[in-house]
Structure 1
C-alpha cells in the first residue's frame, strides 16, 4: 500500500502561511530579508574579488616565473613587483625554482611554481563552489522577499479597501 500523500496545498512542516501574518510582522520580515540580502551580496562581491586575486597570482607565476624560464633569460630576471593593485616597483627574481605563497593570516610558505599554481587553482575552485552555493541562497532569499512584498501589498490594499468601505458606510 503506498504511503499517504499530502495535498499540494499543504505547506511544508515548520513553514508559516504568509497571509496569516500581520502587516508589522511582514514589514519586519521584509526588513530582515533586505538586510540579509545586502550582507549576502556584499559577501558575494568579496568572494569574487578574492577569486580574482588568486587568478592574478596564477597569472603572475605563469608570466613571471614560468614565462621567464621558457624565454631562456638569465637567472636574475627583472620583474615588476606589485606593492598595491596600481603600484609596481622593479625587482629581480632571486630564485626561479621557488616562490613564496601567502597561505593566509600573514603566513607565507615556500613552494615550487607548479605547487603554488596548484594551490591557487584549488583556492579558485573552492571559491567557485562557495559562490555557486551563495548564489542559490541569494535567489531563494530574493524570491522570499518578493513573496513577502506581495503579501504586504495585498494586506495594505485589503485594509485600505476595508477602511474606505467602512468610511463610506458610516458617512452615508
Structure 2
C-alpha cells in the first residue's frame, strides 16, 4: 500500500520528527527553568563550571544571584531577573506544548486519511478482482 500514497507516510514521518525535536526543546526549557530554582543568595561567591562549548567548561564564581542571561535564540541573549527568567521558561514550555498538540492533531488527521485511502484502495482492489472473476465464470 505504501507505493500508492507515499506522501502520506512522508508527512507522518515529518510530524513524528517534529514532535521529537519539540520534545527535546521542551525538556531543555524545563531543565533551564528548574536550574533557576537553584539560584539562591546562598550560592553567591561559590565556584561553578561555566560551559564555553558543549564539552568545555571553565571555573567561574557566582557574582550576581538576582539576574541571569538567557539565550533567547539565534545568537541573541537577554538579561532577566530570576522571576523573569522563570516566567520566560514557563511560557516557552507552554508554547512548545501547544505546538506539539497541534502537530499531534495534524498527525491524527493524516493517519485517519491514510487509513481511509487504504480502505478505498482495498475496496477497489477487491472490486477489480471480482470483476475479473465474473466474466470467467
TM-score by length of 2: 0.84
Structure 2 CA distance for partners of 1:46 and 1:103, relative to 1, 3 Å: same
Query: Cα distance, 1:126 vs. partner?
Result: 1.1
Q: Deviations over 1:70-100 (max 9, x none)?
A: xx34x2222244543xx47343223222111
Structure 1 unpaired stretches of 5+:
1-25
Query: Cα distance, 1:113 vs. partner?
Result: 1.4
Residue 149 (1) aligns with residue 94 (2): no
Give the aligned CA root-mean-square deviation in angstroms: 2.2
| Aligned 1:1-172 pairs, distance under 5 A | 27=4, 30-63=5-38, 65-66=39-40, 69=41, 72-73=42-43, 75-82=44-51, 83-84=53-54, 87=55, 89=57, 90-166=59-135, 168-169=136-137
CA–CA separation in structure 2 for the residues paired with 1:106 and 1:154: 54
Aligned residues: 134
Query: Cα distance, 1:124 vs. partner?
Result: 0.7
CA–CA separation in structure 1 for the residues paired with 2:95 and 2:73: 15
* Partner residue, 1:18: none
Larger radius of gyration: 1
TM-score by length of 1: 0.69
